[in-house]
């Protein structure tokens, strides 16, 4: 999950007006899915986010998430 804002910058380059859109992130949380057992009794419904847990690192424990 990414939280932040979009910023637009514009400038002139040799008479041509240019612009760029910049994503400014306030926080980024990497989500790692939990391992699933390969038992045939539970069908795969395609919802990988149902059992997702935050990755180790980041704001929760004060370390970068990489």
The per-residue pLDDT for range 25-60, each reduced to its tens digit, is 999 999 888 888 876 665 555 555 555 555 555 555
Would you say residue 11 has pLDDT above 80? yes
Query: What are the Cα distances from residue 58, in Å, to 2, 48, 62?
Result: 13, 22, 6
Strands 16-28 and 31-33: unpaired
pLDDT value for 12: 95
Q: Look up the pTM and report it.
A: 0.40
Can you give the length of the chain in residues?
Answer: 66
pLDDT value for 17: 95
Instruction: List CB contacts of 65: < 8 A, sequence separation 6 or more.
Output: 28, 29, 30, 55, 56, 57, 58
DSSP state of 35: P
């Amino acid at each position: 999950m990414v939280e932040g804002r979009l910023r637009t910058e514009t400038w002139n380059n040799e008479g041509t007006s240019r612009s760029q859109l910049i994503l400014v992130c306030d926080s980024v949380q990497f989500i790692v899915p939990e391992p699933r057992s390969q038992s045939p009794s539970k069908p795969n419904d395609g919802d990988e986010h149902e059992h997702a847990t935050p990755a180790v690192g980041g704001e929760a424990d004060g370390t970068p998430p990489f």
